[in-house]
């Protein structure tokens, strides 16, 4: 269906208002009537443009995440044939920009919580979002980590390294209120994101290198006491 510029303006307004409402209250608790009131439209407009609440939410979630990935690609422009260390750094920077930049997910006070809500209380569309965005992103990170670990890495080892890398990025976004109170103001400008990128990359590479050493020599794994072979003083 072709829409006029006025139609697109109304549609965009509904998406913007709905994104804020869904982010603040969640899919289940948000009503069409409150979205209509905030957008200055009637219920018929929701049905006309989206066919109802279900498709409206799907559109909001997909548009929000897609626009963020378009703005900050997973590979940050680094070629897939580049060194895995360089690819990992680009991956981390892209993730942090999507999560922390003012024009990323954190730049929308209401909408930015939509992703967090999806993780805590998945909507009926979680599977769609995973297939469209998360699974392809995870495959890229898995390829990077597989290269870094080398032959012999099991699927479980690769998956755990993936979670360890992306978990650091998500923690800075999801635990921001706590981190601000513990560490002071957290500025999410390019300089701060670059510093975080360097730290998370160094930390992750060191951890992955430790896992790789364990693959080649399990006996070389550090002991809890910090002494060779678990010796006591």
pLDDT at 106: 67
Mean pLDDT, rounded, for 196-200: 96
**How far is residue 112's CA from residue 145's CA, in Å, rounded to a whole number?**
28
Domain boundaries, the chain: 5-65, 73-216
Q: What is the CATH number of domain 73-216?
A: 1.10.357.10
Can you state the angle between helices 155-174 and 190-216, rounded to 10 degrees?
Answer: 160
Superfamily of domain 5-65 in CATH is Homeodomain-like (1.10.10.60)
Condensed to tens digits (0 to 9), the pLDDT of residues 20-65 reads: 899 888 888 999 999 999 999 999 999 999 999 999 999 999 998 8
- Residue 117 CB-half CA count within 13 A: 24
Residue 2 has pLDDT above 70, yes or no: no
Condensed to tens digits (0 to 9), the pLDDT of residues 76-89 reads: 989 889 999 999 99
pLDDT at 232: 43
């Amino acid at each position: 269906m072709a829409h006029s510029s006025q139609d697109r303006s109304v549609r965009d307004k509904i998406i913007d208002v709905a994104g804020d409402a869904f982010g603040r209250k969640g899919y289940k608790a948000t009503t069409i009537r409150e979205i209509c009131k905030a957008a200055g439209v009637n219920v018929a407009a929701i049905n006309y443009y989206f066919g109802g609440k279900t498709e409206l939410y799907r559109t909001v979630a997909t548009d929000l995440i897609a626009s963020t990935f378009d703005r900050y690609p997973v590979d940050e422009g680094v070629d897939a044939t580049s060194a895995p260390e360089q690819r990992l750094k680009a991956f981390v920077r892209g993730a942090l920009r999507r999560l922390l930049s003012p024009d990323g997910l954190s730049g929308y006070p209401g909408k930015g919580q939509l992703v967090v809500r999806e993780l805590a209380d998945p909507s009926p569309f979680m599977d769609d979002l995973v297939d469209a965005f998360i699974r392809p992103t995870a495959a890229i990170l898995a390829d990077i980590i597989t290269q870094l670990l080398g032959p012999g890495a099991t699927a479980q080892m690769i998956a755990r390294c993936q979670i360890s890398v992306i978990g650091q990025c998500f923690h800075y976004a999801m635990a921001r209120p706590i981190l601000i109170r513990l560490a002071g103001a957290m500025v999410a400008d390019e300089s701060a994101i670059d510093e975080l990128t360097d730290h998370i990359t160094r930390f992750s590479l060191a951890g992955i290198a430790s896992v790789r050493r364990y693959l080649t020599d399990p006996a070389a794994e550090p002991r809890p006491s910090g002494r060779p072979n678990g010796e006591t003083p």
